[in-house]
Amino acid sequence: MTQAIETQSATATATALKCKECGAEYELQAKHVCDCCFGPLEVKYDYNAIRRTVTRQTIEAGPNSIWRYRSFLPVATDNVIDVGTGMTPLVKSHRLARAWA
């Protein structure tokens, strides 16, 4: 199911992308590798904003998809499309568990 959804992007908590190797910072954009050293980029968060705006209840009130975690996704647009990604259930595999016991 694909649908446009409303999310709480006004309270987005991602502030920048930061290189895990050299510490270079980049504005939020579709980028995963550092221009300086090819190190991986990680999302830098405003943890005070997270404490102020994100609770278990706000997450549970979100859509039944990955957009439930919108406050933690470095997406700069308010126009997001939900194609139902996420919420994959964990299913116990008894035969696999026995094989590794």
39 near Zn ion, judged by CB under 5 A = yes
Closest Cα to residue 58, out of 13, 93, 3?
Answer: 13
Report the residue from 5, 22, 76, 87 that binds Zn ion according to the rule CB under 5 A: 22
83 near Zn ion, judged by CB under 5 A = no
41 near Zn ion, judged by CB under 5 A = no
Size of the site for Zn ion (CB under 5 A): 8
19 near Zn ion, judged by CB under 5 A = yes
> If DSSP states are collapsed to H, E and C, what string results for 72-85?
HCCCCCCCEEECCC
With beta carbons less than 8 A apart as the criterion, state whether 84 and 67 touch. no
34 near Zn ion, judged by CB under 5 A = yes
30 by DSSP, 3-state: which?
coil
Binding site for Zn ion (CB under 5 A): 19, 21-22, 24, 34, 36-37, 39
